[in-house]
Structure 1
Amino acid sequence: MKNSRAFRGTIAAAAAVLVGVLPALAGPASAGPALSGPAAPVLRSPGRAERPLGLAHAPNARDIGGYPAKGGSKVATGVVYRADALAKLDANEQQKLVSLNITQVIDFRNPTEAGRDPDQLPASIRRTEQPIYNPANDFYAMVMRLIQAGPAAQQEELGDGKAAEFMRDYYAWFVSDPTARARFAQAFKDIATAQGAVLYHCTAGKDRTGWMTAILMSALDVPKGQIYNDFLDSNDNLAAGNKALLDGLVAQGLVTDRTLWEPFFGVQREFLDAAFDQVQASYGSFDRFLSDGLGIDGATLAALKAKLLTES
């Protein structure tokens, strides 16, 4: 059976599931619990209900605006959006992007991810590639290998907290790797200077996209608690699809211990902690990370604030 076309197709589909490339199957956030660790209790900002874009085939797509910032201002809505993959958008959903005045989409996926499921975008929206991945230790390739290796290998490589450790290292790598920093930096500059609204995304819209959002919000002086709120919202948005897909893997015998995979499906506070801790270790402050790590000058930062900050 392992040599059959059907089995190979199942393996490919399962691997795709684990990196979030089947967002079309994800349902509304209320359909099931998040699969990651418990989030710390935090207050939600007013207007949270208006942030989701309501795209059935990209359930983690949302506006980053509406959050308060220091000094009595807030992040403007209708300017910058974050999302999961846009590969399954139907015609109506594509038109929704046009109606939001989105003129540029920044894709953080690696060539394999993007090639497997290319974005479905209207001709009026320009797509920019900023692939953020580590060729020597690629998340997508690792998942493919472990699915094929089977439950015993999964237990050995992911058990005893090793999956969460991998994710912490992954987030620290966002900060320590010069190529990753350069691509986050270019996205920052594009967002600050683009005419029209910008949407950026990866595959599940939670890790690379989550750190990009944390960078933007930190630069805008959004309180840390609100940054974590937005980060953890991915758990709710992806929960229904994650549960259904993981149930399918278990039913097919490809996974026997679902808890091994939960750190890869969702996000946890400690992941974002790892990125901010690396910022502190490498640069001493977030301001130094912006200027020295990302090469963001004062004019670009001022342009971002002028574009995205508004009076409360």
Structure 2
Amino acid sequence: MNNNSIFKSQPNFRDLGGVHTKSGQKVKENSIFRSSFLGKMDENELFILKDLNVGEILDLRTSQEIDLIGKGDYPESINYQNIPLNAGNITKSLIPIFTKGEFHLLDSNILEQIYFDLITKFTTELASIYREILNANNGIIYHCSHGKDRTGIISALLLDFFEVDRKHIYSDYLMSNEFLKKSNDYQLQMIKDNFSKQFNREVSEEEFAPVKSLFYVHEGILKNIFEYIDKTHGSVRNYFQSELGLNEEEIELLKSKYLE
């Protein structure tokens, strides 16, 4: 699987392909890409995007997130589509907590709840996303704001559907922590500095731990998601059929299209 160095301004961009499945097949490269928000690309990066033969961009952010920083400026050849996954929109509730330094109000289970909401309450949206991937004529990119949670669960389920070993899926999932570290450190320091100005003291590590946790992905949460799907559906393939409503033909086409 490719690393994230192709776009300097997009720390969490990467190719989902290049990895082998348990049966020895390979997920096609340069076909499915995952990313953080793509809105700050320079001319050279836009040229690279075109060179990748990307035909579609799926934006998983909410309208509030898009209003805040825009939808991005892409070549006319690329079809932009917004399929909002509202379960990930915690920005509105978090901003006042961060600005007021009321870190004790943070729910320690908020990220895990978001993940479970995504796979149980947003099945219509998930089905639409996977069908867009299935029907893409050229390369397709899907992204949320940071490319770690909503994008992360979409990627993890798809790789498991392709029967990629879960050890590799966890590894790919955790790459977001490495790729986002620089930007996370910057944002976390800003929150710390704001706290210090308000309360004339440094925030303790214990106080700040719930904040820091939100900026990173956690293997345990993804494991719990897989355990839940295994227990309730038997496999991600069955989940795609019984919960998302993909039929047998779509299931087989999705595999044949992206496995070689």
Regarding TM over 0.5, the answer is yes
Partner of 1:5: none
Distance 2:60 2:133 in 1: 14
Q: Where in structure 1 do 4 or more consecutive aligned residues deviate above 6 Å?
A: none
Q: CA deviation at 1:188?
A: 0.6
Distance 1:79 1:222 in 2: 16
Q: What amino acid maps onto 2:119 in structure 1?
A: V
Q: Match for 2:47 among 95, 117, 138?
A: 95
Which of the residues 208, 217, 234 maps onto 1:267?
Answer: 217
Listed as ranges, the gaps of 5+ residues in structure 1 are 1-47
Does the alignment pair 1:175 with 2:125? Answer: no
Match of 2:133 in 1: 191
Displacement of 1:215: 1.6
**Aligned position for 1:154:** 103
Structure 1 contact 65–77 (Cα < 8 Å) conserved: yes
How far apart in 2 are the matches of 1:306 and 1:288?
Answer: 17
Instruction: Please say if residues 192 and 301 of structure 1, whose CA atoms lie closer than 8 Å, have aligned partners that are also in contact.
Output: no
Q: Aligned Cα RMSD in Å? A: 1.8
Q: Percent identity?
A: 25
For structure 2, the residue ranges without an aligned partner over 5 or more in a row are 197-201
Following TM superposition, by how much is the alpha carbon of 1:76 offset from its aligned partner in structure 2, in angstroms?
1.3
Q: Which residue of 1 aligns with 2:144?
A: 202
Q: How far has the Cα of 1:232 moved from its partner? A: 0.6
Paired residue for 1:166?
A: 110
Listed as ranges, the matches of 1:69-108 within 5 Å are 69-108=21-60
- Can you list the C-alpha shifts for 1:241-299, whole angstroms capped at 9, x where unaligned? 11122112212327934322122101001221232233235434323211011111122
- The residue type paired with residue 84 of structure 2 is P
Structure 1 residue aligned with 2:180: 238
The code of the aligned residue for 2:238 comes to R
Q: Distance in 1 between matches of 2:58 and 2:246?
A: 18
Other-structure match for 1:66? 18
> Which residue type is aligned with residue 116 of structure 2?
A
Deviations 1:3-59 (A, max 9, x none): xxxxxxxxxxxxxxxxxxxxxxxxxxxxxxxxxxxxxxxxxxxxx4x3325212211
Given that 2:12 and 2:146 are in contact with CA atoms closer than 8 Å, whether structure 1 keeps it comes out as: yes
Contact 1:174 1:275 in 2 (8 A): no
If asked which structure has higher relative contact order (CA below 8 Å, sep 6+), I would say: 1
Checking the alignment, whether the CA contact within 8 Å between 1:101 and 1:197 is kept in structure 2 is yes
Length, aligned pairs only: 251
- The residue number in structure 2 matching 1:36 is none
Point out the more displaced range, 83-92 or 253-262: 253-262
Q: TM-score, normalised by structure 2?
A: 0.90
In the alignment, what sits opposite 1:144?
A: 95
Cα distance per residue 1:63-107 (max 9 Å; x no partner): 001111021111111110000001212222122111100000001
Q: TM-score, normalization: structure 1? A: 0.76
The answer as to 2:113 corresponding to 1:124 is no
Does the 8 Å CA contact 1:172/1:274 hold for their aligned counterparts?
no
Note if contact 1:94-1:120 (Cα within 8 Å) is conserved in structure 2: no
Conserved 8 A contact 2:13-2:35: yes
The answer to whether the 8 A contact 2:56-2:79 is kept is: yes
* Contact residue 100 and residue 197 of structure 1 kept, 8 A: yes
Distance between the aligned counterparts of 2:67 and 2:77, measured in 1? 21
1:57 matched to 2:3? The reply is: no
Instruction: Please tell me the residue identity of whatever aligns with 1:169.
Output: Q
Query: Residue 239 of structure 2 corresponds to which residue in structure 1?
Result: 289
SS of the residue corresponding to residue 123 of structure 1 reads coil
1: distance between equivalents of 2:8 and 2:94? 25
